[in-house]
Structure 1
Amino acid sequence: MKALNIFLKLSLLSVVFLACTKKENKVFFEGSTPPVLTSTASVTIVLEKDKKEEVALVLSWTNPNYMFNTGVSSQNVYYIVQIDTAGKNFTSPKLQEMSIASDLSVSLSVQELNVFLSKMEFTPGVEQSIDIRIKATLLNGTVPTYSNTLTLKVNPYLDFAVEPPGTPDNNYEDGELWVVGDAFASGWSNPLPSPYDVTQRFTRIDIMHYELVVEMAGGGAYKIIQKQGDWSTQYHALDGGTWEGGAFEKRDADPGFPGAPTAGTYKITINFQTGRYAVVRQ
């Protein structure tokens, strides 16, 4: 009788335990359909600066229909337009990307497309081929899927990501640049005293490219100026830039470019076509 009571008690506990255990519903990703990308452009796109506000092309794509075991995803789908030099398989360091909200199309103006090509350092006035595709993801870039690739021919005009030094009336041929800051022996003196007005002056390679080989003190920061004694048309680093490189813009603002961590000779390269700078120890 005692054994029977124990058995009944254990059975009752088992029933209570099972009744209190919640049924777990797991969600599994089952797949998606690659977006189908189409374009309004079918011939060479000749980009002209005086038509920069006009539409260069319209890209459209289908919904990737992310599927889970619970049905079609109700999550937001995020899209990225990827543009690369034809044949680079979207692995080029000059790959350009543009984020789209949740739309299934985007209209690119002449200027917008030309800026992408400028950042890819395409030669103005020369026909070249680009590959375009759509990358679709869910939140935080999860489960990416890619569209088909379209190859288009483009002919860009001379443009820049950041306005170079000089004046537009002279086609920026009169541009000059200096570095000023406590990353150098000169400190923040502006105008630069002799001999720093010579040793901290950039060499102009062409309209879009400037270089300077200079001694850095180790630490500190600096700005790049167009005119001695004038801060109003300076260039400064954008957030995320390191002493080795990053993006910059033309504006009287902080932060400056971070100085190299250790003293030595460094080469600073400024690229106005891409809006990027690079610093390499010599």
Structure 2
Amino acid sequence: MKKFKNISVFSIIGLVLLCLSSCDDTTDIYSVSDPSSPILAELNFSQIELDANNTNNPALSLNWVESDYGQQTAINYAVQFANDDAFTTPVTASTVTGRNNLTLSTSEINAAAGSAGLDPFTWGTLYTRVVASLGSQNSESVASNTLQFEVYPYYNYVFNDYYLVGNGVVSGWNNNANNPPLFRDADNQNLYYYTGYFANAGGFDEGRFKILESRGLWQPQWGVTPNEGDDNPAESGDIAGNPGTQDGDPGRFGVPTAGYYQFTIDFSTKKYTLTPYNNAGATDFSSIEVQGSSTETTTLTPLTIDTHVWYAAALHLTPGDVSFVTNTGSTWGGSTGFSGVATDGGGPIPVIVEDDYDVWFNDLTGRYILVPLNL
């Protein structure tokens, strides 16, 4: 016992001496001086007209004098763009570490211009700067001088469009027969809807459908996780896709009987719902027209199996607006371009870029979608 106590006393003394020694050791403390700002070299041009046919071509090369942090360390540089010289809402186009130059392609500049809020097909001012920082937390950041130039962006259509195919819908199992599109949520570009009539002639394989990403192509396609033959109709479940989640084709969505249903699908959560929809009391319009400054008045066509879903194929629209006008004189409009929910008496739907569009309108829900064919 006495030997044990002596060892303990000496151990404690050693620990105290070690602590006193190490507490005064500051050799591992890292300090930096106030960093100097990076300095962007002036541009040798004042305008860039972006070419939508050569999106991979280099469009802008930036060079800068590096920041000095008083230490030999790798410095991060973020290349930012904005529509004002205060960089109220900066857009980071790219980041590099340990370099003082960067070349951006036409598509990268176009995306930055769009994200910064510049309109397509018109000249606008784009501001750029480089922001230096240290470490994974981007600490001790300091911005460079600001440069500006005029840019003429093209439109970058960032949305995905999806189409119905199957014997439960009007197109049948034909992947290129004016297949109805899903209606995209205006606030969540991963969420889609379709409310309408689904056919079912009777039998296990009837009332079925899948989702295509491109009309005329069988892949990519989306359906349910069970394989075909085990794909019993269900009101909700997980989705699967070829090649989105697997190499083989997914199973089929399905309705147990013919009637009106509301279908929702979320490509971020990979979930769907398919539930009966009560259309009792819905107005049966005899005609609906597209009107507005973007087009000549055009009469829409209802689907043969569902007179509540209307369309016009390849309708040429110019920048301006459109509304849906019924035979009763009601005018339906919305505030969001490309897709959204129209209301009776709502404002006109904005059209921001000229193109040929497939225009679809659902008078049960007010949902609309304008699908550009060439963007």
Q: With structure 1 as the length reference, what TM-score do the two structures score?
A: 0.55
SS at match of 1:31: coil
Which residue in the other structure is 2:243 paired with?
A: 252
* Identical pairs, percent: 16
Q: Structure 2 unaligned runs (5+)?
A: 1-12, 173-177, 196-209, 223-241, 247-266, 278-335, 341-352, 354-366, 368-375
Which residue in the other structure is 2:181 paired with?
A: 201
Alignment CA distance shift 1:263-1:54 (3 Å) = closer
Which residue in the other structure is 2:61 paired with?
A: 58
The residue identity in structure 1 corresponding to 2:243 is: D
Alignment CA distance shift 1:254-1:108 (3 Å) = same
Matched, 1:36 2:27: no
Tell me by how many angstroms 1:80 deviates.
0.9
1:53-202 map, 5 Å: 53-67=56-70, 73-87=71-85, 89-92=86-89, 95-120=91-116, 122-140=118-136, 141-161=138-158, 177-178=162-163, 191=166, 193-194=168-169, 201-202=181-182
The residue identity in structure 2 corresponding to 1:102 is: G
The residue identity in structure 2 corresponding to 1:111 is: S
More contact order relative to length (CA 8 Å, sep ≥ 6): 1
Which residue in the other structure is 1:21 paired with?
A: 21
Q: Distance in 1 between matches of 2:148 and 2:245?
A: 41
Query: Which one has a larger percent strand, Structure 1 or Structure 2?
Result: 2
Q: Distance in 1 between matches of 2:45 and 2:69?
A: 30
Root-mean-square deviation over aligned CA pairs: 4.5
SS at match of 1:30: coil
Q: Distance in 1 between matches of 2:124 and 2:25?
A: 55
Alignment CA distance shift 1:149-1:263 (3 Å) = farther
Query: Which one has a larger percent helix, Structure 1 or Structure 2?
Result: 1
The runs of at least 4 consecutive aligned structure 1 residues that moved more than 6 Å come to 195-198, 260-265
**Bigger radius of gyration among the two:** 2
Paired residue total = 203
